[in-house]
């Protein structure tokens, strides 16, 4: 919605604009009401809210998250619903149902979610459940814990009404069988074989949440856990500052605590773009970095609704739904 229309709506509904450099909130409705929302505009940056960004070309996911936000739902609902689209898509071989298996042929999922208050829930090494992100949310909301792993996570999911399914599709099974004949049983590390879906959203109240979900590195060793479900590595949200989420070779993101780093850099005044570039810099500038052989990409948003994204290699992209436009934007990258 254009600013002009927002002002018109605001005067009709009694919505008040907040002052200073804070966001102008749609103050009459808190997220979760189902009443229709006016777009909200940051006074300084003129960025209209809501705002959704995601790793890679997942415009169906950003669309779904956007629909949720336009109903005035919370950013938490939006990121969960967006992830669920990718998890249910059997053609997406990097997330949820249809994901590529570990080297023993088991599809094991990692996911985590962080809400506006900095609460966090995660599942690691979860089998047989498509919507790992929803199980992660349940861990956050309904248990005293942050992370459930493996069989315990699966048991918790089944007890909470999730359905057990075979997540190994024929297509992923065929590829795995072909890989086994030449692989010598070594996990494969290259630029192409991983893609986490990470989503960050800011709702009409200006509150930020984030989520990410993945089947992890294809043909990983059994029991391997990547960055994606680990707070501060694959995902970090600080509703005072902003949020960041990673994709790519999880081991490198873990070692540099990438998402936390980006949020802390933004806290110190860097833009999301500068912060993403510096986090990639930390990886490629390590003395023994093998960065030519793997990909890492970051996306970030700050509290003003500014966004940034950067990767080691060409090919990364960010989906962005804002101001009624759902776009996929190619990322700048380090190896030129």
Active site residues: 196
* Residue 108 within binding range of ligand ASP, rule CB under 6 A: no
* Shortest Å, Cβ 48 to ligand ASP: 29
CA Rg, the chain, in Å? 19
Show the site string, 313-332: x = touches ligand ASP by CB under 6 A, - = not.
Answer: --------------------
Binding ligand ASP (rule: CB under 6 A), the pick from 226, 242, 258, 305 is 226
Q: Which helix (H) or strand (E) is 180 found in, with range?
A: helix 170-183
Minimum separation from the CB atom of position 6 to ligand ASP (A): 36
CB of 273 to ligand ASP, least distance (A): 20
The site that binds ligand ASP (CB under 6 A) totals a number of residues, namely 13
CA distance 66 to 238: 21
Within 8 A by CB and 6+ apart from 159, the residues are none
* Three-state DSSP state, 76: helix
Token reading at 315:
């090919």
Per CB under 6 A, the list member of 82, 121, 216, 258 interacting with ligand ASP is 216
CA distance 108 to 291: 26
Minimum Å gap between C-beta 311 and ligand ASP is 11
Site string for ligand ASP, 26-65 (x = CB under 6 A): ----------------------------------------
Closest CA to 99 of 123, 136, 79, 127: 127
Quote the CA–CA distance of 293 and 248 in Å, as a whole number. Answer: 11
The 182-211 site mask, x for binding ligand ASP (CB under 6 A), equals: ------------xxx---------------
Which regions of the chain does DSSP assign to beta strands (E)? 40-41, 48-49, 51-55, 109-114, 120-126, 147-149, 197-202, 208-214, 235-238, 242-248, 296-302, 307-311, 317-322, 325-330
Q: Which is nearer to ligand ASP, 44 or 186 (CB)?
A: 186
Site string for ligand ASP, 228-257 (x = CB under 6 A): x------------------xxxx-------
**Chain residues 150-189 in contact with ligand ASP, contact rule CB under 6 A:** none
Closest CA to 215 of 279, 116, 125: 125
Distance of CA 100 to the CA centre of its chain: 19
In the bound state with ligand ASP, the residue whose beta carbon lies nearer, of 71 and 105, is: 105
Least distance (Å) between residue 91 CB and ligand ASP? 17
Contact footprint for ligand ASP (CB under 6 A): 194-196, 214, 216-217, 226-228, 247-250
């Amino acid at each position: 919605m254009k600013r002009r229309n927002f002002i018109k709506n605001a005067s009709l509904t009694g919505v008040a604009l907040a002052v200073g450099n804070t966001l102008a909130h749609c103050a009459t409705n808190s997220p979760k009401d189902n009443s229709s929302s006016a777009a909200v505009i940051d006074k300084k940056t003129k960025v209209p809210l809501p705002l959704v960004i995601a790793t890679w070309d997942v415009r169906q996911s950003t669309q779904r998250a956007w629909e949720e936000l336009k109903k005035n739902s919370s950013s938490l609902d939006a990121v969960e619903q967006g992830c669920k689209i990718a998890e249910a898509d059997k053609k997406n071989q990097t997330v949820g149902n249809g994901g590529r298996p570990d080297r023993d042929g088991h599809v094991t999922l990692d996911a985590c979610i962080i809400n506006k208050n900095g609460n966090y829930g995660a599942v690691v090494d979860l089998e047989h459940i498509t919507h790992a992100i929803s199980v992660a949310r349940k861990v956050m909301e309904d248990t005293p814990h942050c992370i459930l792993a493996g069989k315990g996570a699966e048991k918790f999911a089944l007890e909470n009404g999730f359905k057990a399914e075979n997540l190994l599709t024929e297509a992923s099974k065929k590829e795995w069988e072909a890989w086994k004949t030449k692989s010598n049983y070594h996990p494969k590390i290259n630029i192409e074989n991983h893609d986490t879906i990470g989503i960050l959203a800011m709702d009409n109240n200006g509150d930020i949440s984030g989520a990410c979900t993945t089947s992890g590195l294809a043909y990983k060793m059994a029991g391997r856990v990547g960055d994606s479900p680990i707070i501060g590595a694959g995902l970090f949200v600080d509703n005072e500052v902003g949020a960041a989420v990673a994709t790519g070779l999880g081991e490198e993101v873990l070692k540099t605590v990438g998402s936390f780093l980006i949020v802390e850099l933004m806290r110190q005044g860097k833009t999301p773009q500068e912060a993403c570039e510096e986090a990639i810099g930390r990886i490629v500038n390590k003395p023994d970095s093998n960065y030519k052989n793997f990909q890492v990409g970051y996306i970030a948003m700050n509290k003003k609704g500014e966004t940034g994204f950067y990767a080691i290699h060409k090919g990364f992209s960010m989906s962005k739904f804002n101001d009624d436009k759902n776009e996929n934007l190619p990322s700048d990258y380090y190896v030129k």
